[in-house]
C-alpha cells in the first residue's frame, strides 16, 4: 500500500526542496499541506493519493496538468484571476526519515490566505454589512468575467462552488472592489483534450454535492455548459438569496432528491424567474439564469452570454422591464473582442498592482513616478517620458492612449501592444512589455 505523506516529511522536485509543515485538508484524491521551500517561503502543496504509480494514466496526468497550468498562465488577465501550480512533479519522498520506494504526484501552489470566498461574501456580506443590489451585480459580473476567460482558454473548472471563488479585496477604501480568483483547478478538464482519468470508475470527474451539474450526476464529461449550470446556482444565491434546489438539500432531504430534481429540471422557482433581491435590477439576466438550470446542456446560455447580460444590467438598469417579453439571446461575439469595447459609467479609474493603488477622475499621464507607487521596482522599465495616458471618452468610457512621445519600452494592454486608443474594462491589465509593471484596471 502506498505511503501517504504526512507532516515533517520532505520531498524534492528538480527545482525546489519542500518540508511539509501541517496537514490542512484531506480530499478524495489529494491531501493539502502548508509547506516551506528551501528558502523558507511558505507555499501550498497537494500530495496526491490518486493517481498512484499503479494507475495507467499516472504519467499522462502529469502532462495534462502541465498543459492546464500553461493555459492558465498564457493570458495575462486569466493568470491574475486563477491560482495555477508553480511546480508539478512526480517524486519519491522522505517519510519518517527514510526514503519511500514509489513516487507520488505533487503540485505546489502559491499560499493564498486572508481573502473572502464568494460564499462568505454572499452569506455574511462585507464586514457584517449586507451587500447592496448594485454591489451584488458587480460581484456577479467580475465572477462571470473570470469564468468566461477560463472557458476561452478551453478549460472547464468542473468543481465550481462559492468556496472555490476567492474574492481579493482591492485597496483599503470604502469602495467595494474585488479581483476574483478561481481556485482548486487541479482536476479541471481541458475542453479540447480527453482527461487521462476518463473511464476510471475509481476516480470519475470532480464536483461537490449540492453544486453538481446534470452532467456530473449522469456520469458524463463536464463541459463549459456544466460550469454555466453551477454558476447559475451560485448567482441565484447571490442575486435572489436562494439556491434553486434548496428544498432538496436540507437535513431531512433524501440523498436522491437533488439528483432526481436536477435531472428533471424541477427547481424551486417554478416556470417564472423569482423576484431578485431589492436593488438588483437584472430581469434579462434572471431569464438567462433560469435557462441555465435546464438539464439539457444545449439549452443553456454560455457563461459569456451571462456575463454580457450582467454588464448590460450594470450599465442600463437591468435590460428589459420586468415581465416584458424577451427574445432568445443572440449569439455574442467572443469575450476578448466584446470586452475591449465595453463602456463603464463609473467615475474613477483605479490601477492596482503589487505595491499599491492609484486612482484618477480625469485625464492623467502615467509616469515612472506613478508606476512606482503601483508596481514598485518594475517602474524602472519606464523612461522619463509618460508611459501611457488615461482619459475619459464619450459616454463615460475610459481610454488608455499611447503618449505623443514613444516610451522607452512599449505599453501593453492584455498582452498586446497599445498602438492606438483602447476602451478599458474592469479586469484589463496594463503593463510595460507583455509582463513587466503589470497593473489591473477597475473602476470606483
Q: What is the residue-wise DSSP string for 28-85?
A: SSEEEEEEE-TT--EEEEEEESSS-TTSTTHHHHHHHHHHHHHHHHHSHHHHHSB---
Closest CA to 184 of 72, 297, 92, 328: 72
Q: What is the largest CA-CA distance in the chain?
A: 70
Helices of type H across 344-432: 368-375
Phi, psi of 262, rounded to the nearest 5 degrees: -65, -45
Instruction: Name the packing angle between helices 303-316 and 283-291 (round to 10°).
Output: 170
SS3 104: strand
- Can you give the pLDDT at residue 112? 83
Consecutive H or E run containing 226 = helix 224-240
Residue 346's Cβ-count burial label (10 Å; 0-12, 13-18, 19+) is middle
Which domains are seen in the chain, by residue range? 10-110 (3.30.200.20), 116-335 (1.10.510.10), 349-443 (2.60.200.20)
Q: Helix %, strand %, coil % for the chain, to 5?
A: 30, 25, 45
Query: Which residues of the chain are modeled with pLDDT < 50?
Result: 318-346
- Can you give the pLDDT at residue 281? 93
Cell numbers that stand for 420 in this block: 492606438
SS3 117: strand
- Can you give the pLDDT at residue 252? 65
Give the list of residues 6+ apart from residue 308 with CB closer than 8 angstroms, or none. 332, 338
Give the other-Cβ count within 10 Å of 416's Cβ: 12
d(CA 441, CA 281): 25
- Can you give the pLDDT at residue 395? 61
Pairing label, strands 98-99, 42-48? unpaired
- Can you give the pLDDT at residue 355? 85
SS3 164: helix
Cell numbers that stand for 108 in this block: 505546489
- Can you give the pLDDT at residue 2? 67
Helices of type H across 317-354: 335-340
Helices and strands counted in the chain (H then E): 11, 23
Phi, psi of 268, rounded to the nearest 5 degrees: -75, -10
Phi, psi of 119, rounded to the nearest 5 degrees: -65, -45
29: left (phi over 0), alpha (psi -120 to 50) or beta: alpha
d(CA 147, CA 156): 9
What is the distance of C-alpha 300 from the center of its chain?
Answer: 20
Give tens-digit pLDDT for 321-349. Answer: 333 333 333 333 333 333 333 333 446 88
Record the pTM. 0.72
To 5 degrees, how large is the angle CA 208–CA 212–CA 218?
125
Q: Where are the beta strands (DSSP E) in 147-235?
A: 155-156, 165-169, 178-182, 189-190
Closest CA to 52 of 106, 104, 107: 104
Amino acid at each position: 500500500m502506498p505511503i501517504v505523506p504526512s507532516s515533517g516529511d520532505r520531498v524534492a522536485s528538480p527545482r525546489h526542496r519542500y518540508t511539509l509543515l501541517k496537514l490542512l485538508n484531506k480530499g478524495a484524491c489529494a491531501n493539502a499541506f502548508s509547506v516551506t521551500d528551501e528558502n523558507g517561503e511558505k507555499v501550498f502543496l497537494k500530495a496526491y493519493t490518486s493517481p498512484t504509480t499503479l494507475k495507467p494514466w499516472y504519467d499522462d496526468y502529469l502532462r495534462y496538468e502541465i498543459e492546464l497550468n500553461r493555459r492558465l498562465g498564457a493570458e495575462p488577465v486569466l493568470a491574475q484571476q486563477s491560482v495555477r501550480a508553480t511546480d508539478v512533479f512526480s517524486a519519491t519522498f522522505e517519510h519518517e526519515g527514510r526514503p519511500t520506494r514509489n513516487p507520488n504526484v505533487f503540485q505546489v501552489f502559491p499560499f493564498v490566505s486572508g481573502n473572502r470566498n464568494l460564499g462568505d461574501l454572499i452569506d455574511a456580506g462585507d464586514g457584517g454589512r449586507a451587500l447592496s443590489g448594485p454591489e451584488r451585480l458587480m460581484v456577479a459580473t467580475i465572477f462571470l468575467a473570470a469564468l468566461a476567460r477560463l472557458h476561452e482558454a478551453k478549460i472547464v473548472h468542473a468543481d465550481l462552488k462559492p468556496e472555490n471563488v476567492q474574492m481579493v479585496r482591492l485597496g483599503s477604501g470604502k469602495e467595494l472592489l474585488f479581483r476574483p480568483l478561481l481556485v482548486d483547478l487541479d482536476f479541471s478538464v481541458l475542453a479540447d483534450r480527453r482527461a487521462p482519468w476518463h473511464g476510471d470508475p475509481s476516480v470519475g470527474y470532480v464536483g461537490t454535492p449540492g453544486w453538481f451539474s446534470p452532467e456530473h450526476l449522469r456520469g458524463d464529461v463536464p463541459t463549459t455548459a456544466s460550469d454555466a449550470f453551477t454558476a447559475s446556482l451560485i448567482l441565484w444565491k447571490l442575486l435572489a438569496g436562494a439556491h434553486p434546489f434548496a428544498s432538496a438539500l436540507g437535513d431531512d432531504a433524501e440523498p436522491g432528491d437533488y439528483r432526481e430534481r436536477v435531472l428533471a429540471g424541477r427547481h424551486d422557482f417554478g416556470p417564472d424567474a423569482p423576484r431578485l433581491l431589492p436593488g438588483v435590477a437584472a430581469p434579462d439576466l434572471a431569464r438567462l439564469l433560469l435557462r441555465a438550470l435546464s438539464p439539457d446542456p444545449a439549452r443553456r446560455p454560455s457563461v459569456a452570454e451571462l456575463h454580457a447580460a450582467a454588464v448590460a444590467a450594470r450599465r442600463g438598469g437591468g435590460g428589459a422591464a420586468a415581465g416584458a417579453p424577451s427574445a432568445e439571446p443572440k449569439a455574442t461575439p467572443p469575450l476578448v473582442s466584446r470586452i475591449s469595447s465595453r463602456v463603464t459609467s463609473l467615475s474613477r479609474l483605479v490601477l492596482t498592482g503589487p505595491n499599491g493603488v492609484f486612482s484618477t477622475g480625469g485625464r492623467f499621464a502615467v509616469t515612472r513616478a506613478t508606476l512606482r507607487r503601483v508596481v514598485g521596482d518594475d517602474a524602472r522599465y519606464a523612461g522619463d517620458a509618460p508611459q501611457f495616458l488615461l482619459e475619459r471618452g464619450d459616454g463615460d468610457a475610459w481610454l488608455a492612449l499611447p503618449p505623443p512621445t514613444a516610451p522607452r519600452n512599449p505599453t501593453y494592454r492584455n498582452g498586446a501592444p497599445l498602438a492606438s486608443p483602447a476602451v478599458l474594462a474592469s479586469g484589463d491589465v496594463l503593463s510595460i512589455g507583455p509582463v513587466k509593471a503589470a497593473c489591473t484596471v477597475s473602476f470606483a
